[in-house]
Amino acid sequence: MLAAGFAGFPLVTARNDLLNLGIQIFLAVALAESWNLLGGYAGQITLGHAAFFGLGALVTRTLWVGGAPLSVALAAGALVATAFGVLIGGPAFRLRGAYFAIGTLGLAEILRITVGNLMPEISTIPVTALASYDLVPRYYLTLALAMFSVAVVAVLVRSRVGLGMQAVREDEAAAEASGVGAFRHKLLALVLSTALAGLAGGAFAYYHVSYYPQHAFSPAWTFDAVLIAFIGGVGTVHGPVLGALFYVIAKEVLAVQLVEVHLLIFGVLFLLVVLLLPGGLVEAWSRARRLITRNS
């Protein structure tokens, strides 16, 4: 129902600022859901998510600016991101907990610095494409991507594979002992997660007029994903959606007043969520509903 409302939106208004806001929300949803898949459902906290977002952006941008059709560019971006994920998945999953997290962070940083060194110039959409630049298709693309990522997670949650992932999250040794192949499930989560992240990166590359290639590898994207997933409700289907709405809109509101203050507030909120309300906004919402129904 929400999606339908969003879909109908551009028909009602042509206000660019609102369309931009929508695109940012949808990108955030996709990014957060992709992280949520690996970090929230499979329980593998990764701090290197930006690597896959960046790879998707890099490949898509290069191909699309070079003349390839958008669909090909997007697919290639997702493919490269996934391939990289599979490549590192084997060795990466030998690390546990903390080491996995910082290992992935280290990897993302290596990529960022290398890309920054090899491609220091800003990447701009060629003038010809700029003339026909239109927000509306980008709006629908990102909307579709957001819906797709939510759908993937929703389907996964109910499936046997998804339950296996959650078993691994709760207690890997126990899951392994009861026949759930931990490595297989973690790898699958990684593949799906990186594919979605790569697509999100590709959409980002399609959307932004100009940016520095290394910017897409910045740890800020990982942080955004983690923040949104947790504040919204990590390990739930709709948590990242709520979180993305809240995050992007609050960011817009606060950005008017002070630079970067939104991160301060979100940082504190994040801490509160981790300590007091692990279910995030989703949990707050369901608790509020129960309170209301009990009192009515």
- What residues line the site for another protein (CB under 8 A)? 43, 45, 47, 91, 94-99, 101-103, 105-107, 109-110, 113-114, 116-117, 219, 223, 226-227, 230, 258-261, 263-264, 266-268, 270-271, 274-275
When the beta carbons of 69 and 267 are compared against another protein, the nearer one is 267
Smallest distance, Å, CB 208 to another protein?
23
Smallest distance, Å, CB 164 to another protein?
18
Give the span between the Cα atoms of 21 and 27, in whole angstroms.
10
Smallest distance, Å, CB 277 to another protein?
13
Give the span between the Cα atoms of 22 and 248, in whole angstroms.
9
Smallest distance, Å, CB 120 to another protein?
9
What backbone torsions phi and psi does residue 210 show, to the nearest 5 degrees? -145, 140
Distance of alpha carbon 126 from the chain centroid: 27
Instruction: Look at residue 182 and give its three-state secondary structure.
Output: helix
What backbone torsions phi and psi does residue 43 show, to the nearest 5 degrees? 75, 15
Instruction: Look at residue 210 and give its three-state secondary structure.
Output: strand
When the beta carbons of 78 and 107 are compared against another protein, the nearer one is 107
Smallest distance, Å, CB 70 to another protein?
33
When the beta carbons of 54 and 103 are compared against another protein, the nearer one is 103
When the beta carbons of 58 and 63 are compared against another protein, the nearer one is 58
When the beta carbons of 46 and 193 are compared against another protein, the nearer one is 46
Nearest to 234 by CA among 166, 280, 168, 291: 280
The set of residues, in sequence order, having a beta carbon less than 8 Å from that of 113 and lying 6+ positions away, is: 214
CA dihedral 4, 6, 11, 13 (to 10 degrees): 150
When the beta carbons of 10 and 235 are compared against another protein, the nearer one is 235
Query: And the tokens for 117?
Result: 């060194």
Smallest distance, Å, CB 66 to another protein?
25
When the beta carbons of 76 and 234 are compared against another protein, the nearer one is 234
Smallest distance, Å, CB 176 to another protein?
14
Which stretches within the chain are classed as H helix?
A: 2-12, 16-35, 50-65, 70-92, 97-118, 127-131, 135-158, 160-170, 172-177, 182-207, 219-232, 239-257, 261-276, 280-295
